[in-house]
Amino acid sequence: MDLVSTPESSAPRRRARVVVVGAGPAGLTVANILRAASVDCVVLETESREFIEQRPRAGFIEEWAVRALQQRGLADRLLEGAQTQGECEFRWAGERHRFAYGELSGHRHFVYPQPLLVTDLVRAYADRAGGDIRFGVRDVELHGIDTDRPSVSYTDPRTGERIRIDCDAIAGCDGARGVTRTYLGYLGTERATVARHDYGIGWLALLAEAPPSSDCVVFGLHPRGFAAHMARSPQVTRYYLECPPGDDPENWSHERVWAELHARLTVAGAPPLTEGRLIEKRVLDMHNYVVEPMSHGRLYLAGDAAHLAAPIAAKGMNLALHDALLLGDALVAYCGEGEGEGAVEGEGDDSALTGYSEACLPRVWQYQEFSQWLSELLHGPSSGDPFKAGTAAARLRRILGSPAAAAAFAELYIGKGADN
């Protein structure tokens, strides 16, 4: 990255082709793609490296996403270590119903905790490829996104100095609580609309230091509330319990959590739940949103910055990877491969960047629709509304009884053919 003169300000100004805001799965994937093509980029992240490499969240990656990471040399450890799963189980009205979506779709999930993926992507970008990443930055601001020369400024955590980076494009990958989205959707401008859906439901998200109690994802449909079981590793299991939105996690003692999990997930013939210490306990108010279009001027949003999918169908990280793969390639086409001798720092082909939002949104909406559909199925029995309970039961019977409905469900659940 070059230093350039700073005529109008004493703040140090620097230049890079692309500034990536946020080092989650989306930002790190974009950065790795740029780095592999020798496009000069800087990643800005508010948290520390240790923090992002340990932040627990997702765990199920769809096969198409794994293959795309593999093609770019970003999935070595994932492919070595991840277990694959192609079945889920619905527990409903005291019975178990296995559903073999892997057989039906030909695709499987890879069980790989998000912190491991983030660790792999940071190593590939920063340690192996020598990419520029700045942790702990504060007060990130964007400037001139409507112009050909936008910039990003931030406060350096060590010196307190304000730094400004001029660039050609900004990748807004700073998640649901970041700042980049506000430059598109929340300024009362007509740059973008934000479509939002609130489920009116809370989920108590739990991580237990306990081995999985089933060889697959378990969805417990129960009048007391929905519950779920998902493997994370041989030692750690994620559980969810439906609860009132805004509930205080402190209302959920160890004893209450396990009593409720047993009550909602136990059916005849199922292996008993293995209990363990709860190492994460937080309440998620389930909601989704989509920012449309996902770009404006030289700012391109990817991942949770652009759209949130409550973890009902395990779609968020997969969508973040989908955006990032498209955005990384589009930025490479625009910036041109390579730097240094022979490289032309000019404008390349911007057609993929122009079409970026349009290319992402079909899958975004397919996943949103599927999450909403699945939510109605999973929460119907506990809704207290006999009509919702009846339609939820009809949905479940349909996917368990109709081969055509089962095949359609399997493809959506694993994200196959969702780009239309």
Binding site for ligand FAD (CB under 6 A): 21-27, 44-47, 52, 57-60, 114, 140, 173-175, 177-179, 205, 303-305, 311, 314-318, 320
- The tokens of 103 are what? 């057989």
State the minimum distance, in angstroms, from the CB of residue 410 to ligand FAD: 17
| CB of 39 or CB of 319, closer to ligand FAD | 319
Pairwise CA distance, residues 87 & 220, whole Å: 15
State the minimum distance, in angstroms, from the CB of residue 401 to ligand FAD: 27
Instruction: Enter the DSSP assignment of 313.
Output: G
| CB of 179 or CB of 408, closer to ligand FAD | 179
Instruction: Render 225-236 in DSSP notation, one character per residue.
Output: --EEEEE-SSS-
Does a cis peptide bond (omega within 30 degrees of 0) precede residue 293? Answer: yes
State the minimum distance, in angstroms, from the CB of residue 221 to ligand FAD: 19
State the minimum distance, in angstroms, from the CB of residue 43 to ligand FAD: 9
Contacts of 56 (CB under 8 A, 6+ apart): 113, 114, 115, 207, 232, 280
CA-angle at 392, arms to 390 and 393, nearest 5°: 65
State the minimum distance, in angstroms, from the CB of residue 321 to ligand FAD: 8
State the minimum distance, in angstroms, from the CB of residue 310 to ligand FAD: 8
| CB of 17 or CB of 315, closer to ligand FAD | 315
Contacts of 262 (CB under 8 A, 6+ apart): 273
| CB of 42 or CB of 52, closer to ligand FAD | 52
| CB of 319 or CB of 336, closer to ligand FAD | 319
**Residue positions counted in the chain:** 420
State the minimum distance, in angstroms, from the CB of residue 263 to ligand FAD: 22
Pairwise CA distance, residues 416 & 103, whole Å: 13
| CB of 55 or CB of 397, closer to ligand FAD | 55
| CB of 38 or CB of 233, closer to ligand FAD | 233
Sign of the Cα pseudo-torsion (280, 124, 337, 326, in order): negative
| CB of 58 or CB of 336, closer to ligand FAD | 58
The closest alpha carbon to 68, from 365, 322, 302, belongs to 322
Pairwise CA distance, residues 374 & 361, whole Å: 20
**Longest C-alpha distance within the chain, in Å?**
75
Sign of the Cα pseudo-torsion (38, 39, 40, 41, in order): negative
State the minimum distance, in angstroms, from the CB of residue 93 to ligand FAD: 26
The angle, 0 to 180 degrees and rounded to 10, between the axes of the packed helices 25-36 and 114-122 is 30
Pairwise CA distance, residues 203 & 17, whole Å: 41
